[in-house]
């Protein structure tokens, strides 16, 4: 890695201290879950910080959210459990509805059964600076809300299986959605056999085992939905990276450019805040937009997200990702690899719309983003040097895009 002179090291340390304070001030908010009072207070604090940095056009908004993922799991698994207990054609109909509705919802479709579940509106805040009619738009985003600390993600082994986690290569389907979909599908198949007349002790034992498994999934989903929000230092580190990089890009903004910084609530239920921003500016955001999403930047190993894998595989558009690879090859920002994400980041909807995208995460040696989803997710465990490195790398990729260079790049 490039050696910094004493003045640069002092500046880097100052930025790390500021990043730590931003993380701490967000982590101390109670119940910073999607749609909660803590999320709204996080939006107010972010708005204040953005104004301090020099943004004059800053506004908050609310957006329709989605139900807690734990409730969604509990509803569909509970329906399948009832089907297994009833058996016959009615039981099969319930299980088939559960598996089809779950897959439809978790692959981006409109919610069917879950639409009746409570889903308080989430909050998002956006700051704008630059030209009224820009030739290029730069959008930086990060999540505002913190995940719940349920038992589903209480151990590292389960997090590696269920996500969020990163690996060099992940085959679809993967993660929590894949396991739930497999369970619901198994229940539907067994009940189809029962409806067609299959009987005997073996069928009853299978249906009993599946009813028990679906019941356990229901209980786990309810526990997750009722669990308190974690302190969320890892997710707050993304906001710190957003502010650090945004401050740098604001100072370097050209006359024909527009810069947006977006703190998006409703990340955990399905990136609802970021989707609301994208919908609000759908006519403006196109291929001349450079989109950088900071996901969880508090680990020691910084990486670019190449794809997100759940029930389906969502590959990120290659344009900005390829440029980021060439910038990373310079070695000026340390070792920055490429990973595939188990689950969905807040940028999944950006990738689905085909916008040029760079999504950054920071993981530990196991491929996990620190103590994410756990009550031990505290500011002291966040690597502030990684936050600053992610911010500088993002700014370097934006500068490289401005220059349009094709060779390996080093921007220090």
HEC assignment per residue over 167-236: ECCCCCCCHHHHHHHHHHHHHHHHHHHHHCCCCCHHHHHHHHHHHHHHHHHHHHHHHHHHCCECCCHHHH
Report how far residue 277's alpha carbon sits from residue 279's, in angstroms, rounded to the nearest whole number: 5
Task: Give the residue carrying structure tokens 């290659």.
Answer: 318
Q: Where are the domains of the chain?
A: 6-63+121-149+228-403, 69-116+175-226
Give all strands (DSSP E) within 217-300, no chain letters: 257-264, 289-296
Residue with tokens 């992610």: 390
Strands 337-342 and 301-309: parallel
pLDDT at 30: 93
- pLDDT for 380: 95
Q: Alpha-carbon distance 363 to 172, whole Å?
A: 21
187 and 91 Cβ atoms separated by less than 8 Å? no
Question: What pLDDT score was predicted for residue 200?
Answer: 82
pLDDT at 9: 56
Helices (H), 285-383: 318-329, 348-352
- State the pTM of this model: 0.93
Say how far apart CA 384 and CA 390 lie, in whole Å: 10
- The secondary structure of residue 109, as a DSSP letter, is P
How far apart CA 309 and CA 292 sit, in angstroms, is 19
Assigned CATH for 6-63+121-149+228-403 = 3.40.630.10
- On whether the CB atoms of residues 343 and 267 are closer than 8 A, the answer is no
Q: Residue 171 has what pLDDT?
A: 92
The secondary structure element, H or E, covering residue 125 is strand 122-130
Predicted confidence at residue 2, as pLDDT, reads 42
| pLDDT at residue 15, as a whole number | 95
Structure tokens at 96: 């088939």
pLDDT along the chain (412 residues), means of 10: 50 92 97 96 98 96 96 98 95 97 92 94 97 94 96 91 91 95 97 88 93 98 96 97 97 95 96 95 83 93 95 91 92 92 90 92 93 94 95 96 61 42
pLDDT of 412 reads 41
Predicted confidence at residue 410, as pLDDT, reads 45
Q: What are the residues whose beta carbons fall under 8 Å from the beta carbon of 208, sequence distance 6 or more?
A: 84
């Amino acid at each position: 890695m490039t050696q910094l002179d004493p003045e640069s090291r002092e500046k880097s340390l100052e930025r790390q201290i500021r990043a730590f304070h931003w993380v701490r001030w967000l982590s101390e908010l109670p119940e910073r879950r999607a749609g909660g009072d803590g999320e709204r207070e996080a939006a107010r604090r972010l708005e204040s910080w953005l104004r301090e940095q020099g943004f004059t056009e800053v506004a908050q908004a609310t957006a329709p959210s989605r139900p807690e993922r734990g409730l969604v799991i509990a509803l569909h698994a509970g329906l399948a459990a009832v089907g297994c207990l009833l058996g016959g054609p009615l039981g099969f109909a319930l299980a088939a509805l559960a598996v089809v509705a779950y897959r439809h919802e978790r692959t981006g479709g409109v919610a069917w059964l879950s639409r009746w579940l409570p889903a308080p509106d989430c909050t998002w805040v956006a700051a704008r600076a630059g030209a009224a009619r820009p030739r290029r738009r730069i959008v930086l985003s990060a999540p505002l809300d913190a995940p719940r600390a349920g038992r589903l993600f209480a151990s590292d082994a389960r997090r590696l299986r269920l996500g969020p986690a990163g690996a060099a290569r992940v085959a679809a389907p993967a993660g929590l959605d894949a396991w739930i979909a497999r369970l619901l599908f198994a229940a539907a198949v067994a009940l189809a056999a029962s409806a067609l007349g299959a009987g005997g002790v073996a069928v009853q034992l299978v249906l009993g085992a599946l009813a028990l498994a679906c019941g356990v999934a229901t209980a786990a989903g309810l526990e997750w939905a009722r669990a308190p929000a974690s302190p969320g230092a890892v997710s707050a580190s993304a906001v710190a990276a957003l502010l650090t990089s945004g401050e740098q890009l604001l100072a370097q903004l050209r006359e024909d450019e527009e810069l947006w910084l977006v703190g998006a609530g409703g990340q955990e239920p399905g990136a609802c805040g970021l989707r609301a921003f994208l919908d609000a500016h759908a006519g403006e955001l196109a291929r001349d937009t450079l989109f950088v999403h900071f996901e969880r930047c508090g680990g020691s190993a910084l990486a670019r997200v190449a794809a997100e894998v759940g029930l389906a595989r969502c590959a990120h558009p290659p344009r900005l990702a390829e440029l980021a690879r060439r910038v990373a090859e310079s070695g000026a920002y340390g070792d920055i690899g490429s990973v595939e994400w188990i689950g969905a980041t807040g940028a999944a909807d950006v990738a689905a719309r085909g916008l040029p995208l760079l999504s950054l995460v920071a993981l530990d040696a196991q491929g996990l983003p620190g103590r994410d989803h756990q009550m031990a997710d505290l500011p002291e465990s966040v690597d502030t040097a990684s936050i600053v490195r992610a911010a500088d790398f993002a700014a370097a990729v934006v500068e490289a895009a401005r220059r349009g260079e094709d060779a390996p790049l080093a921007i220090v």
